A and B are shown apart, each in its own frame.
Chain A
């Protein structure tokens, strides 16, 4: 029998597909991964794993996996691809992209990714080396995934913050500095369903065992809401009114942290005045919640010695997502829960390492002054939305797709799409996205499996590696981590390797000092004192040492500001519940509530026609967004896309459990199997997103059945937020339910 070797690594991106961070042990025999298990020595996950990781052998060695570069030989959508060499593939990409750059300018090629994976580094390296300012989560209406929350936190705290589940401490729950939160508000998140935003979801469950009580803000009932002290089952999209009403209760009843507010909060009186506009009865009418429940939850949160908020994308997907995130951050601020044990801790990347450069100085050094100029002048959305202009490098997704379609104000002719199944995944107005993108002259898709997007659009497909097949680093909060290559599958390459090779072709001088991606990692890791190899060899992870990356109470110790003075990293040095930063950008410095674009009050006629509020996008441990439907061990546990329908609604529409129906509105209709369930209220339905059928015909027009099942086909756009970030209508679109006549 051949010998089995066991190696450690970190999961992130392709494989489980998720935001990653957990430690895994890879069992290798004859160059093949034969098994994978959780790594007990890893502080993040402590030996645990998830279904997607444990099914990884079926993913990596799946017969349908793309393992060689491909070029399209038939017409787009015909599904005819031929294997080519890496050299030919990269030569083609280089020639075609340079051609577009010459004809239309570098900004005519967009670089599209999906969610928060190990893509931001490699894709910006390529995008900026090519010279384009247009890095975008194409399809994600309002960029409604964490960016609104990040923007709000930056404006209020001057930093990001996360619920403190001891994740910055090496001894974790056993560290004597840490105490469990008395309360965690799970706001728009079922934490048991996955690990978003650098947070292992079951940390919340760990805290519950240690005594934490839950306040669940969720329109649905779940395992978590079943066990919550308070379940605020609000009308989808009304989170802003709820948060403001809670602020009002806490301030008007004098339950806020006086000492903290006096010393550290800027704009308290203005916030108090704004919150007074949301008395309980008004908020109750907006949210469909009993006034007493709102008050009780607010009191419990404020009275807790330490309390945290763990939130999800529904916050971003409110009509004005950033504003809702502002309101929720204000709850943390006025209760003095920032950067204290068991509260909301300031989250900085471990050891100050960022996996890729953000600062203007670094960008200029690597890519030249011209790029910065183009980012300010040509980046789609930067002229319209101050927050797009001032916060991070993203282009505004809704505007990008409109511009691809219209060619105005300048043409967009090419797309580099990196592990993002836009058409089968995040694209609201999915049909319009396909129509617009068909106009593109050249499309590259880096992916692992064919999907509706590769099938419909790709001219070149490049095969990407899963995490056991690649080297990388990770510094998403803590710990600092390595991802280490232990096996090779086919000719697949990591996103870093692919983009590094391409970027060198566009920007040889800027990248001259690196011969390999590992050279780059070494340079990025320099603040930690480790090289990539050293960090891997000493265990693959390192928790922050004392300093700006390690909690607690850094504002008191002068660890947050450049000038070394005590205080927060904001213009006033205080937590700005009245945000001077937003004010300087011409935005409302205070949180406010906006009604969803479609609702009984906003669009009464539409509501009469489509009286069901359709919540989409609840997460599952089995699938990551539009992935994994071809993995047998996962798919067998959820073979069909279902819609949760309350028994009263089912009776009203005359549908029974297990029956296939259409969810329908003016944009079209999508098939779903009815699951009669009290998880949703009457008047709401919920269905999961990301469905297409890998077992169906891939070529157009079928595209793996995507038009039968892609729920985002009937989600409207563009986004509805004032800042350009937030307001994708994924949780609040109206629909009806119709029987399928046979």
Chain B
């Protein structure tokens, strides 16, 4: 069954922190609580230092139910400066994913 999901274009998250504060504002989350936190990875590949980022979603993510009801994008997806996130149904995003060199698909059932 298709579920809501967020597709993250792994090549393009710049670690700008916008998604994190967007989520905190949307839900009035206090410091220490967030639907999404950005993680940084530093490693070496092909003789180069590589810096990658990836947003990590937590149980505080409700896929912005209130915004969905108003037909608005989730706050994180809308404001992402690198436009590296897409919101949709997991099946559709799974198709989109095939065209991306590196991508991660996140899905969960909010408020279990």
Contacts and interface: CB of A to CB of B under 8 A. Distances in A.
Given A49-B81, A50-B79, A633-B31, 18 more contacts: A37-B79, A48-B18, A49-B79, A51-B18, A54-B21, A54-B22, A192-B14, A192-B81, A205-B81, A226-B52, A231-B48, A621-B17, A633-B21, A633-B25, A634-B21, A636-B31, A637-B20, A678-B42
Interface in B8-25: 11-12, 14-18, 20-22, 24-25
Q: Which 4 A-B pairs have the closest CB atoms?
A: A221-B49, A192-B14, A51-B21, A54-B21
Given A37-B79, A54-B21, A205-B81, A632 B31 contact: yes
7 contacts: A51-B16, A51-B20, A54-B21, A223-B14, A621-B16, A633-B25, A678-B42
Nearest to A680: B49
A223 B31 contact: no
A488 interface: no
A544 interface: no
Interface of A: 35-38, 47-51, 54-55, 57, 192-193, 201-202, 205-206, 208-209, 221-227, 231, 621-622, 632-634, 636-637, 677-679
Contacts of B11: 227
A48 B81 contact: yes
Contacts of A633: 20-21, 24-25, 31
A38 B49 CA distance: 33
A226 B25 contact: no
Contact of B21 (A55, A205, A677): A55
Contacts of B80: 48
A192 B82 contact: yes
B78 interface: yes
A209 B17 contact: no
Contacts of B44: 678
A37 B30 CA distance: 19
A208 B42 CA distance: 21
Contacts of B53: 223
B63 to A, nearest CB: 17
Nearest to A220: B49
A49 B53 CA distance: 18
A223 B15 contact: yes
B50 A49 contact: no
Given A48-B81, A202-B82, A209 B12 contact: yes
B17 A49 contact: no
Contacts, number: 101
Nearest to A206: B83
Contact of B25 (A48, A57, A208): A57
B6 to A, nearest CB: 17
B18 A205 contact: no
Contact of A50 (B18, B24, B83): B18
A491 to B, nearest CB: 26
A38 B42 contact: no
Contacts of B12: 205, 208-209
A8 to B, nearest CB: 15
B51 A221 contact: yes
A204 to B, nearest CB: 10
A50 B25 contact: no
Contacts of A678: 42, 44, 49
Contacts of A55: 21, 24-25
A202 to B, nearest CB: 4
Given A209-B12, A223-B15, A634-B21, A48 B48 contact: no
Nearest to A634: B21
A223 B51 contact: yes
A205 B15 CA distance: 12
A421 B47 CA distance: 42
Interface in B64-100: 75, 78-83
A55 B30 CA distance: 12
Contacts of A48: 18, 79-81, 83
B69 to A, nearest CB: 15
Contacts of A677: 42
Contacts of B51: 221-223, 225-226, 679
Contacts of A37: 75, 78-79
